[in-house]
Homo-oligomer: A and B are copies of this chain.
Amino acid sequence: MKITKYTIQRLSKYQRIAKECCDNGTERISSKYISEKLGLSASQVRQDLNYFGTFGQQGYGYNVCALYDNLSNILGNNIRKNIIIIGAGNLGRAIAKYKYLSRYGFKIISIFDNKPDMIGVNIENIIVDDIQNLENFMKNNQVDICVLTASTKTISDIVNIVKNNGCKAFWNFVETPFKVPEGCIVENIHLMDSLQTLSFNNSNS
C-alpha cells in the first residue's frame, strides 16, 4: 500500500473519532462504526489500520483509547512541532487560538507581521514580532512548520527566508499564488476555491 496524503487524512479522521469515543467513555468500536461515520467502506478502514499495525479483533472491534494512542504515535502527536505564523490578521489569530493545535503536539512559538499596529499585540501570550526579525528568529529557533496567512507582495521572500533557515513545511492560506522553492512541502487551504466550489455545485445541482 502506498501511503498517500489521503491515507494520512483518513488516519487523522479515525483518530478524531477514537478521541471522541474515548472521551465519551465508549470502550470499543468496530471498523463498521468508523466507516459509517466517515462514509468509507469498512474494508478501507481495516486496511488502513492493519497497514500501520493497529489491529482490531474480529467481532470485537478496536479498543478506542488504545486506537487513539496508536494513531497519535503514527501521526507523531507526541512529538512537539514548533510553528510560526506569518500574519497576525483575523485568520492568523484564529489559527493561533485554534484549540486543536496543542492536542496534536503543535506549538505556536512566534507570530510575525509587517503592520505597525499589529507588531507588539499579544495573541495567546505571544507578542507579535516585526517581520524584519524573521530571519534572526529562524537562525535561533527550530521551526518545523510555517503558516502563511498574510497575502503580501513579499510572500516569496518570506518563504525563501524560512526555507533557507531550515523549515521546509508550509501550511498555506494565502490566496495569491506564489512560487514554491524546490524541496518544500506545501499544504494549501484555499478558502475561496472551496467556497466557490460549494456555491457552484449548489447552483448547478
List the interface of chain A (C-beta within 8 A of B). 3, 5, 8-9, 11-13, 16-17, 20, 37-39, 75-76, 79, 81, 90-91, 93-95, 97-98, 100-101, 104, 106, 144-145, 168-171, 175-177, 180, 185, 187, 189-205
Residues of B within 8 A of A193 (CB): 8-9, 12-13
A187-B192 in contact (CB<8A): no
How far apart are the CA atoms of A17 and B175 in the complex, in Å?
9
How often does this chain occur in the complex, in copies?
2
B176-A198 in contact (CB<8A): no
**The 10 A-B residue pairs with the shortest CB-CB distance in the complex, in nearest-first order:** A94-B94, A187-B198, A169-B202, A90-B94, A12-B193, A9-B193, A90-B97, A12-B196, A8-B197, A37-B177
Question: Chain B CB within 10 Å — which of A98, A189, A190 has the most?
Answer: A98
Per DSSP, chain A at the interface is: helix
B16-A199 in contact (CB<8A): no
Residues of B within 8 A of A205 (CB): 185
Which residue of B9, B79, B192 contacts A16 across the interface (Cβ within 8 Å)?
B192
Can you pick out 28 interface pairs between chain A and chain B where the beta carbons lie within 8 Å of each other?
A: A5-B201, A8-B196, A8-B201, A9-B194, A12-B190, A12-B192, A16-B175, A17-B177, A20-B176, A39-B180, A76-B199, A79-B203, A90-B93, A91-B98, A93-B94, A95-B191, A100-B175, A100-B192, A104-B192, A106-B195, A145-B195, A169-B199, A171-B194, A185-B201, A185-B202, A187-B194, A187-B195, A187-B201
